[in-house]
Chain A
Amino acid sequence: MPEDVQMSEQQAAPPAAATAAAPAPSTLHHLKEIASVIEAGSLTKEVRRISRAVRLTVALRRRLGHRDVSAFLAFALPASTEAYARLTSLLPKEDDTEMDLDATAQATQISIKHGLPEIEIYCYLLVLIFLIDQKKYDEAKACATTSIARLKNMNRRTVDVLASRLYFYYSYVHELTNSLAEIRGNLLALHRMATLHRDELGQETLLNLLLRNYLHYNLYDQAEKLRSKAPRFEAHSNQQFCRYLFYLGKIRTIQLEYTDAKESLLQAARKAPTAARGFRIQCNKWAIIVRLLLGEIPERTVFMQKGMKKALTPYFELTNAVRIGDLELFRTVADKFASTFSADRTRNLIVRLRHNVIRTGLRNISISYSRISLADIAKKLRLDSQNPVADAECIVSKAIRDGAIDATIDHANGWMVSKETGDVYSTNEPQVAFNSRIAFCLNMHNEAVKAMRFPPNSHKEKESAEKRRERLQQEEELAKHMAEEDDDDF
């Protein structure tokens, strides 16, 4: 499933306004600006600026050229350092006959302090992204491995953002070369380190990478054990949270916790950015199956979402077969799209669906007939076995016990007798359903309020100077008062 890897980062805001006037500044110039953003972030210890730098880099990604990267390395790293030598050796050799005129012209404008660890790590990240885009996977692997080794000796909160991106590409390049199993131990060590450093973004990223790693090999058991024991906290990055929900949904589906799985998968699909089409398709595919397994029929609009129609066609036909309750049709669809389902790794889940098809068929029969012989049921459901009537009897009695149909069996005559369905509006059912919807809406509102971000102290700024003086005075008085009371105690 390589498509969901590239969940695109949110598009960065256009680079700083200062350059807007200049005619199409070169990529190198942009890179230098990013470097100065990182420098500022590092010096003022503001993580926010560094995340901005990462976002800007992603926006630049398509325009990165070999010349830009090597020129930037020469600019950002002192030529004598080990990192410089190592990174330049990884870059593919090309001849630089054409000089970058812009670069020479603008190089004087920005200069940065050398020797900042953030800049060094950023160079690693840039080279890694560049190598992956150029499909030079062996070099990319080497680059990722050295950068991870370097990261292990660093403990700076401003590096964390860059580090988490590096972890991601580290795992990604190994996935591309199909060697994920090799780095599992390393990722676990990094996760431990991130936990000890209280680097929550790193923990979040690494946990997802580990889950992905396990799920790649279908190791659901290990994935669940890790997931349930890893420390949880409020999500820092929306993308990571989406991925986490998706993996969680997959694990729960395999372990038959369909209700929870549905919730996670739908949430993941909803939270994912619109640009992440591949990821959303995956979420939808799984969510459709889970809903079918739960006995729900997804609405037609689910399959008609923009840009997903073609990918979801096999699942649409499958849903149709389950909805009608036709085992024959179900079998045909499962065979017809067998290769798609195995590629999506949903084949085993589809085998589980057979049971739902029978259930739906049975429900249709029970609604249509008030009394029907078991032999007819077997024929209608197209049960093909040595003894279809006995099969049908067992299946019907289980369906009755599970509450799928409301009926009784008359064994002596071989009949199934459906009971009259009562009027649902004479019960409390509608009220309960209504209540749960209201609760959902209220909860959604509360969550939305909680999720809003307020700049610190914004409410205090509105206070006029006069009021402020007043408040301070009051506080002072109160403090004095308390101090006096304290004295009184003695």
Chain B
Amino acid sequence: MDPKLTEVTQLFARFKAAYSRNDLDVCANLLSQLKVLLTKFPSLPPSFQQTPNAVEELKLARDIYEHAVVLSVKMEDQDAFERDFCQLKPYYMDTCGIIPPSPEEYPILGLNLLRLLVQNRIAEFHTELELLPAKALDNLCIKHAVELEQSFMEGAYNRVLSARQAVPHETYVYFMDLLAKTVRDEIAGCSEKGYDYLSISDAKEMFMFSSDQELQQYITEEHPEWDVKNGSVFFQKAKESQPCKEIPAAPVINQTLGYARELERIV
């Protein structure tokens, strides 16, 4: 066996051991060493050279990056997640026919979809979604993210929150918690427009706070313009659009002159 491959395999075994001990610092340290070593394999993307060890190397590298992605979730580092995912993606997209598909593929792709949703990058969410074959949409992990997006778009926020109880994979919990925060802001924005006032107990329930203090603190931090009195929260109504009483003379004159100029050009 190739000495380089052996070295990486051994190091990866140590990484896995630390990983199962949940020793995150050691993991991160080993991971960066592993990544450096991976750069020496010629068969990996983007060069894809046909070496005798190509299959082994690709599988190993994919396994390492999959662990890296999950590790970044454990460390709650979204930037690292994005970086690792970008490195992992070619293994899913471009290695068909060289190595068999990974069992972790859909959970990780679903996780990425969820991340994009949390970061409110809806355009990228849909771009990623287009890359998935039709049968992937039946996968539990992918379906979870897709349904979340739909509920989110419709405004059925309570469905988003109840989805937290039904996560398909334990790594999803971190992003679901983040999503809950996003949802709370959305609900606040909607309530502001939709209601004249809400009783404090209703508001507490709607914003998912366990105590009145939390609600009070949230209001003072995020929405100081809301009024709390008589046991209710009063939202400041946005100014109604008044029917206009006077003709906006200056803009109209400007426009008309503009038309005259253009007409002159035509005739």
Contact = CB atoms under 8 A, between A and B. Distances in A.
Nearest to A405: B194
B221 interface: no
B215 to A, nearest CB: 15
B158 A387 contact: yes
A411 interface: yes
Interface stretch (A111-119, A231-239, A427-435, A454-462): A427-435
A385 interface: yes
Contact of B194 (A218, A352, A409, A445): A409
Interface residues of A, number: 46
B155 A395 contact: yes
A219 B202 contact: no
B250 interface: no
Given A342-B134, A408-B196, A411-B202, A398 B155 contact: yes
B190 A394 contact: yes
Interface string B190-202: 1111111011001
A390 to B, nearest CB: 5
A348 to B, nearest CB: 6
B246 to A, nearest CB: 10
B134 A435 contact: no
A397 B154 contact: no
Contact of A442 (B159, B196, B259): B259
B155 A427 contact: no
Contacts of B192: 401
A391 interface: yes
Interface string B122-164: 1110110111001000000000001000100111111100100
B241 A218 contact: no
B127 A358 contact: no
A255 B155 contact: no
Contact of A218 (B130, B156, B195): B130
B46 to A, nearest CB: 11
28 contacts: A218-B131, A219-B131, A220-B127, A220-B130, A221-B124, A254-B127, A256-B122, A257-B123, A348-B126, A351-B150, A355-B150, A391-B156, A391-B159, A394-B156, A394-B187, A396-B194, A397-B187, A397-B190, A397-B191, A397-B195, A398-B155, A398-B157, A398-B186, A400-B193, A401-B193, A411-B199, A422-B243, A427-B241
Interface of B: 122-124, 126-127, 129-131, 134, 146, 150, 153-159, 162, 186-187, 189-196, 198-199, 202, 241, 243-244, 248, 252, 255, 259, 262, 265-266
